Amino acid sequence: MKIYLDNYQKEAVYINEKNTLVVAAPGSGKTTVIINRVDHLISDLKVKPYNIIVITFTRAAADNMRSRYKTVFNREEAPFFGTFHGLFYKILLKEGFNISIINSSVSYNLIKGVLSKYSDEVSDDKIKEVLNNISSYKTSLQSFEEYKPSLSRDIFDEAYEKYEDYKNKNKLWDFDDLSLQVINLFREERYINKYSSLFKYILVDEFQDCDELQIEFLKLLNEKASLFAVGDEDQCIYSFRGSKPEYMVTFDKIFHGGKKIYLSINYRSSENIVEASKDVIKNNIGRNNKVIKAYKNTEGHIKYSAPFDERHQGEEISSILKASIDDFKENAILYRTNMEARSIIDTFTRNKIPFILLDKGYNFFDHFICKDLLAYLRLAINNKDRECFLHIINKPFRYVSKANLDYVRSYREEKCPFDILIEKKDTPPYQAKKIDDLRKDIIHLNKLSLSSAIQFIISELGYIDYLKAYCEKYNQSFNDYEDILEEFKSACDGIKTILDLLIHVEGVRQQIEESKEVKEGVILSTIHGVKGMEFKNVFLINCTEETIPHKSSIDENLEEERRLFYVGITRAINNLYIFSPKTQRGRFKEVSRFVFEGNFDEANDSKDHGLEIGDMIIHKAYGEGKIREINKDTVKIDFIDGIARSFSLKVLITNNIITIIK
């Protein structure tokens, strides 16, 4: 079976160079090139399959590529298709190493044990961050002293020591150990000679995702072996794993005599989507200068919208989906961070739109901050809830000792935990009074509106102080956690009572569980989660400054944020919808610079900021009103006092002077 190859693909498949980098535009057929290159080596150049290795970054991608190769070329056997770690594992087994990989749950519990010494509440995200830091250090080829972790140095040092000690005592390995051991072997002449004679042709997919260790491995083999690498530095979005786009740019300097060739035709996206994506990515400096052309000469539908807030954003998307003739599965809602899924899940649940969360375990309300606030609120409804009491009593620290916590936990009678401590014989009177005052404050939450109750917990009960101390201890950005607080408040908009909120939270949990069984629904995912995928219709939400580009990366990693945006828009086949809400979590937001770079703001007239004639609003000064007229930047509003007033729309929105209540 023959596959049609364009001229760019033919040049790549049949090139006669020792070291080649194929710079592949999105949708340009890189998998087609790789399997055809393998066939060319075996069929035309008579290379033995065991002299070829094809490396990619996931087992699923490797399995898919191997299957395609065998099907297309009617082969019963195939060369090695696998990951770096899979290859390293095979090499070490062959060399007589006894390898037992540490179980991920064991790693998790080891790190949790260390972190628990510093905090009562240890989140999954924090544990993952520590494990990522350990991996990042081991693959960085830096000395221990040179490496700069993203968390407190003391905590990192202790976690690393505990983790490595456990592995060494139990003769266990992690995947980074496989890499390090193979690198050490290959620095010995007898091993490098043996394997460079065996692996004569190395093909690497997603080359832009290689870390320092993987590049070092390829360099060692490249003394004799030929390297054929395929990738796109414009899609390098995993710097937190050690990947660097500069490996693509400086390929010819890293691998002697390396030649770059380009796959320039995007077969996926409509022409105007390709052109807009080029307008965005050309603003990056650290990239190859390349030509990208659309195969299709059709114009896709590009729509830009600036709704008032995330709720209106979700409703607009729901309306588009309901009116569409496409199956739900042909649509993807993409966002920068998982937290942004929260408002979309709420909206889709209300509108009965089926969805599939690619990150199947994610639920915003499982974040430790949400759990803390919900524990306070549950305790307000039932002050005998011992679990919630133990959860919040030292958030902030209220000098309740571990011994006293254990005393409450193991108390046999069914009794209010506040009373258990207050009546304990050795509880000092001043502490008993503080505990009783706290009980009164928590009961008082029932008399407040839900939004006021949440703010009371944050401000008056000192939860904000706990968060600040937590961030200082773990070397975390307080701004990131402040965003979680604001998102929690936004999640409570329109919910009147604590009980209603708890019912809502349980409903969300149930909906997310049910979504795991959905076979055909709208895809909800971070941009990171859909790399390599494509969808007929893509909705890129929350395209605002400090969201994408994310505020944590604007100063130091803006080019990666632009690459993320680029990856998002190049997932679209036919239609692309971009949304920049004017407000997020109650705060005015500026439109993302990437929207302007791609000229998406000119795609259609969206200067009404999501307001429509007939909308009911509340003005901070004049109260309730109804929008009578919108003319460019001027809006006329009929107020309940009988007076019609005109305003600058931009001034109203920028300063959060009005709120939509329709």
Q: What pLDDT digit, counting tens, does each position of 466-523 carry?
A: 999 888 887 778 888 898 999 999 999 889 899 999 999 999 999 898 888 888 899 9
**pLDDT at residue 359, rounded to an integer:** 84
Range in 1-5, 348-352, 542-546 with the lowest mean pLDDT: 1-5
pLDDT band at 121 (very low <50, low <70, confident <90, very high): low
- For the chain, the domain total comes to 5
CA nearest neighbour of 54 among 70, 45, 44? 70
Structure tokens at 374: 């919900």
pLDDT by residue (tens digit) across 511-537? 898 888 888 899 999 999 998 899 999
- If you ran DSSP here, which 8-state letter would residue 662 be given? -
Range of the domain at 347: 268-354+520-575
Task: Give the domain-ending residue among 137, 152, 172.
Answer: 172
Which pLDDT does position 605 carry in this prediction?
A: 44
**Confidence (pLDDT) at 466:** 92
Confidence of residue 376 (pLDDT cuts 50, 70, 90): very high
SS3 at position 379: helix
Average pLDDT rounded to a whole number, residues 324-351: 92
d(CA 43, CA 469) in angstroms, rounded, equals: 65
Summary mean pLDDT of the chain: 91
Which stretch of 215-229, 233-247, 604-618 has the lowest confidence by average pLDDT? 604-618
pLDDT score for 654: 63
Asked if 636 contacts 628 with a C-beta cutoff of 8 angstroms, the reply is: yes
28 among annotated binding-site residues: yes
Per-residue confidence (pLDDT) for residue 340, from 0 to 100: 94
pLDDT at 371: 93
- pTM, entire model: 0.85
**HSE of 597 in the Cβ direction (CA atoms, 13 Å)?**
20
Counting Cα atoms < 13 Å in the Cβ hemisphere of 242 gives 21
Q: Is 286 annotated as a binding residue?
A: no
Q: What is the rounded distance in angstroms from the CA atom of residue 119 to the CA atom of residue 107?
A: 18
Closest to 21 (Cα-Cα) out of 255, 289, 286, 266: 255
The reply to whether 143 and 85 lie within a common domain is no
* CB environment 260-292: b (16+ within 10 A), e (fewer): bbbbbbbbbbbbbbbbbbbebbeebebbeebeb
Distance CA 152, CA 158 (A): 10
Cβ proximity of 287 and 259 under 8 Å: no
Please give the average per-residue pLDDT across 96-108, as a whole number. 94
pLDDT for the residue 609: 63
Q: Determine if the peptide bond prior to 549 is cis (ω within 30°).
A: yes
Q: For residue 117, which amino acid is it?
A: K
Angle of helix 30-39 versus helix 7-14 axis, rounded to 10: 40
* CATH assignment of the domain containing 390: 1.10.486.10
Sequence-distant (≥ 6) Cβ neighbours of residue 440 within 8 angstroms: none
In the chain, % of residues over pLDDT 90: 67
Parallel, antiparallel or unpaired: strands 293-294 and 301-305? unpaired
CA distance 418 to 432: 9
- Whether residue 92 sits in one domain with residue 67: yes
The last residue of one of the domains, among 236, 263, 290, is 263
pLDDT band at 253 (very low <50, low <70, confident <90, very high): very high
Let me know if residue 584 belongs to a domain.
Answer: no
CA distances for 341 relative to 299, 349, 662, angstroms: 29, 12, 23
Cis peptide before 26 (omega within 30 of 0): no
Confidence of residue 564 (pLDDT cuts 50, 70, 90): very high
- Which residues 6+ apart lie within 8 Å of 236 measured at CB? 208, 209, 243, 244, 245, 248, 560, 563
Q: Is 599 left (phi over 0), alpha (psi -120 to 50) or beta?
A: left
Q: Is residue 508 domain-resident?
A: no
Residue 411 has pLDDT above 90, yes or no: no
pLDDT for position 264: 95
Instruction: Tell whether residue 12 is among the known ligand binding residues.
Output: no
pLDDT(22) > 90: yes
Please give the backbone phi and psi of residue 525, each rounded to the nearest 5 degrees, phi first. -160, 155
User: Is residue 401 predicted with pLDDT exceeding 90?
Assistant: no
How far lies 499's CA from each of 232, 347, 496, 561, in Å? 51, 20, 9, 40
403 annotated as a binding-site residue: no
d(CA 526, CA 340): 9
Pair 380, 348 in one domain: no
**Domain presence at residue 487:** yes
Given a cut of 60, whether residue 456 has pLDDT beyond it is: yes
Of 18, 77, 45, 41, which Cα lies nearest the Cα of 224? Answer: 18
The three-class DSSP label of residue 34 is helix
The one-letter amino acid at 90 = K
Same structural domain for residues 400 and 441? yes
| End residue of a domain, out of 172, 207, 222 | 172
Q: Is residue 610 part of a domain?
A: no
Enumerate helices (H) and strands (E) in the chain, giving the number of each: 27, 21
How many residues appear in the chain? 662
Residues 272 and 259 in one domain: no
Q: What is the mean pLDDT of residues 452-457?
A: 95
* Residue 301 belongs to domain with CATH number: 3.40.50.300
DSSP run (H or E) holding 82: strand 80-83
DSSP 298: P
79 and 202, same domain (yes or no): yes
| pLDDT given at position 587 | 85
Mean pLDDT of 565-572: 97
**Residues 18 and 83 grouped into a single domain:** yes
Lowest-pLDDT choice from 94-108, 170-184, 532-546, 595-609: 595-609
- pLDDT given at position 662: 55
Can you give the pLDDT at residue 259? 95
The H-or-E segment that residue 226 falls in is: strand 226-231
| CB burial readout 98-119, b (16+ within 10 A) else e | eeeebeeeebeebbbebbeeeb
DSSP states of 315-356 as a string?
Answer: HHHHHHHHH--S-GGGEEEEESSGGGHHHHHHHHHHTT--EE
Is residue 140 scored above 50 in pLDDT? yes
Q: Is 79 annotated as a binding residue?
A: no
Any residues with CB less than 8 A from the CB of 459 and at least 6 apart, and which? none
CB-side neighbour CA atoms (13 Å) of 333: 31
- Residue 659, phi then psi, degrees to nearest 5: -130, 130
Structure tokens at 29: 């057929």
Would you say residue 554 has pLDDT above 80? Answer: yes
In a domain, 146, yes or no: yes
* 512 assigned to some structural domain: no
Name the band, by pLDDT with cuts 50, 70 and 90, for residue 1: low
Per-residue pLDDT at 544:
96
Same domain for 217 and 341: no
The tally of CA atoms less than 13 A away on the side-chain side of residue 550 is 21
Distance (Å, whole) CA 111 – CA 272? 48
| CA–CA separation, 94 and 98 (whole Å) | 10
pLDDT the model gives residue 633? 76
Examine the domain organization and report whether 286 and 301 are in the same domain: yes
For residue 509, tell me if it sits in a domain: no
The answer to whether residues 75 and 193 belong to one domain is yes
Higher-pLDDT residue of 360, 89: 89
Residues 256 and 273 in one domain: no
User: Any known ligand binding at 314?
Assistant: no
Confidence of residue 606 (pLDDT cuts 50, 70, 90): very low
Domain contains 564: yes
d(CA 394, CA 389): 9
- Percent residues over pLDDT 70 in the chain: 98
Structure tokens at 545: 């400054």
The 8-class DSSP code of residue 520 comes to: S
pLDDT average, residue stretch 150-165: 91
Give the H or E element holding residue 581: none
Domain co-membership, 326 together with 467: no
